[in-house]
Every structure is written in C-alpha cells, then in structure tokens.
C-alpha cells in the first residue's frame, strides 16, 4: 500500500505541472510564426496569443524546451529581458 502513495500523490498534483492543449497550440503557433521571420516579442503581442493565454502562461512559453529549441536560447533570453523591462517601466 505504501508503494502506491508516491504515484497517488503525483496523480493528484499532476495538474499543477500539466500543459494545457491551448498552451500546446499557442506554442506551435509561436514556433511557426518565428520560422516565418517574426520576432518573439511581436508574436507574443498577437491577439491570438493574448486572447488564449494569461501573462504567466505567456511567460511559461519561453520556458518550454520545444520553444527554446526552435527559436534559440539567445532569442528567448533577449525576449524575456525585454518583457521584464517593459513590466517595470511605468
């Protein structure tokens, strides 16, 4: 019975770490648009993205391995810095 406890607890709290289907679709959109030559900031500012994700969810997109791999660590870091600077500016 004790052997099942970790699996049980993992199942209960898995929703905290699960990606939603909406986040997956937006990540696919972001990767596709970036391959077409658009900047990450521009894509994150799209109505498509803003209407589907909260600001924290948009931030999490930049932590996804598939996004980092597709657009590059440098672009992700640059966008993250830019977004943080924009939030602190009144």
Both tokens assigned to 13: 């709290």
Hey, where are the domains in the chain? 19-88
Q: What's the mean pLDDT in 14-35?
A: 84
Interior angle at CA 59, CA 41 and CA 74, nearest 5? 55
Both tokens assigned to 35: 């391959």
- Rounded alpha-carbon distances, angstroms, from residue 38 to 8, 45, 49, 90: 43, 11, 14, 26
Q: How confident is the model at residue 33 (pLDDT cuts 50, 70, 90)?
A: very high
- For residue 52, pLDDT over 80 is answered with yes
Distance CA 27, CA 22 (A): 9
- Residue 82 neighbours by CB under 8 Å, 6+ apart: 41
Write the pLDDT tens digit of every residue in 61-81.
999 999 999 999 999 999 989
């Amino acid at each position: 019975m004790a052997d099942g406890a970790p699996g049980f607890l993992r199942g209960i709290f898995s929703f905290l770490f699960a990606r939603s289907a909406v986040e997956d679709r937006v990540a696919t959109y972001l990767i596709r648009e970036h391959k077409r030559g658009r900047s990450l900031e521009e894509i994150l500012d799209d109505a498509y993205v803003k209407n589907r994700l909260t600001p924290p969810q948009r931030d999490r997109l930049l932590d996804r391995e598939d996004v980092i791999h597709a657009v590059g660590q440098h672009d992700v870091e640059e966008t993250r810095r830019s977004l943080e600077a924009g939030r602190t500016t009144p």
